[in-house]
Amino acid sequence: MKLRVGFGYDVHQLGFNEELWIGGIHIPFEKGSIGHSDGDVLIHAICDALLGAANMRDIGFHFPDTSNDFKGIDSKILLKRTVDIIAEKGYSINNIDSTICLEKPKLKNLIPEMQSVLAQVMNIDIEDIAIKATTTEKLGFVGKQEGIAAYATVLIQKG
């Protein structure tokens, strides 16, 4: 069995009159992510981590923001395609560990729903997806509520 680790990071600006999508769920809030797709930073970080672990470049290579095919697309579609892309190389997901950095809204009560949605999209056990949420103690663009960031580490296996 071959094991590989991948790391992903994504950031999006927050703006008024935008929808907030995190972990595949819509979160009602006064601000949302500004992006070419739906701006789901958690899914984008997971996609980058999976692609990196399989040595298959990054999300922008496979789903460029210069393509109208991906304008406003549901990031769950990108995640499903990413799982299919790494599967073509013989890889499957062992587990995911992720962190969302956002000052507001608080996410702790929404994490189980995110885990459930992501597990369904990736066809893996909910226990194999860890999601944590933190603030940056009012520091930087996250702390000033100008943006949102997410980190993901994945372990994939072949064989």
Residues 155 and 85: their CA atoms lie apart, in Å, by 16
> How many residues are recorded in the chain?
159
Annotated binding residue at 135?
yes
Structural domain of 85: 2-158
Annotated binding residue at 26?
no
Whether 27 has a pLDDT exceeding 90, the answer reads: yes
Annotated binding residue at 141?
yes
Annotated binding residue at 7?
no
How do residues 103-112 score in pLDDT, each as one tens digit?
999 999 999 9
How many domains does the chain fold into? 1
pLDDT band of 71, cuts 50, 70, 90: confident
Annotated binding residue at 66?
no
Residue 110: predicted pLDDT: 98
Residues 17 and 93: their CA atoms lie apart, in Å, by 35
CATH number of the domain bearing residue 69:
3.30.1330.50
Annotated binding residue at 137?
yes
Annotated binding residue at 10?
yes
